[in-house]
Amino acid sequence: MILAGLFALVVTGCAGPDLTAVPTTASAPYACDGVPRASVELIVGGPVEVSNATDDWGAEYDTFLCDLTGEHGLVTVDETSVVQSPWGRTEEDVLAVMGSSSASAPLDLDAPGSGFTWGDASAGWVCDGRVITVYAAGDPVPGRDRTADVTHLLTSMLPWACHGEDVPPATDDPTD
């Protein structure tokens, strides 16, 4: 009887990581403006803390940046105008650089524009003179596909990055 109870405690206490797919549509709460908290928590394996943030989505000469840290690393979301991009001054130049790595793969998303994944945890999209990138760094959560994760997170933010929707504001309370 004691062994059965101990076994049950060990089995239930050793639940693995949450392998739920990162959603391709965003919903509140938002850790930073436009960045869905629950999606980033899946990528880093638990609660996240905002370590750096600006709220300049769509600004002509400013960059939006959101760095979120958690148990398994960091997720960075960056959005800027093409002319401010470190990769070139035209959409074509930026896409050429994104796609130049042997580890690059084109993305086929239902949104205006074009983009790529590169490495094992980076995705970028170019549309309407804007560049949005998502990076994950640190120790991957066992069993998660970080390329799929960052691609899904990127996809979920395209409505305000490329479709002109209002950027949802950050939520102070992570349970909102």
Residue 29 lies in a domain: yes
Residue 169 lies in a domain: no
- Rounded CA gap, 131 and 135, in Å? 13
| Pure H helices in 74-114 | 91-98
Q: What is the CATH number of the domain that holds 21?
A: 3.40.1000
Residue 87 lies in a domain: yes
User: What is the length of the chain?
Assistant: 176
Number of domain units in the chain = 1
Residue 173 lies in a domain: no
Residue 92 lies in a domain: yes
- Rounded CA gap, 72 and 125, in Å? 25
DSSP β-bridge partners for residue 81: 130
Tell how far CA 162 is from the center of its chain: 16
Residue 71 lies in a domain: yes
Q: What pTM does this model have?
A: 0.89
Residue with tokens 């035209």: 90
In a structure prediction context, what are the per-residue pLDDT tens digits for the chain, which is 176 residues long?
444 444 444 444 567 889 999 999 999 999 999 999 999 999 999 999 999 998 789 887 789 999 999 999 999 999 999 999 999 999 999 999 999 999 999 999 999 999 999 998 999 999 999 999 999 999 999 999 999 999 999 999 999 999 889 999 999 665 55
Residue 24 lies in a domain: yes
CA distances to 5, 65, 139 from 76, in Å = 43, 7, 15
> What local confidence, expressed as pLDDT, does residue 174 receive?
59
> What local confidence, expressed as pLDDT, does residue 58 receive?
85
Kindly give the pairing relationship between strand 105-106 and strand 73-81: unpaired
Residue 126 lies in a domain: yes
User: Domain containing 82: what range?
Assistant: 17-161
The amino acid at 95: L
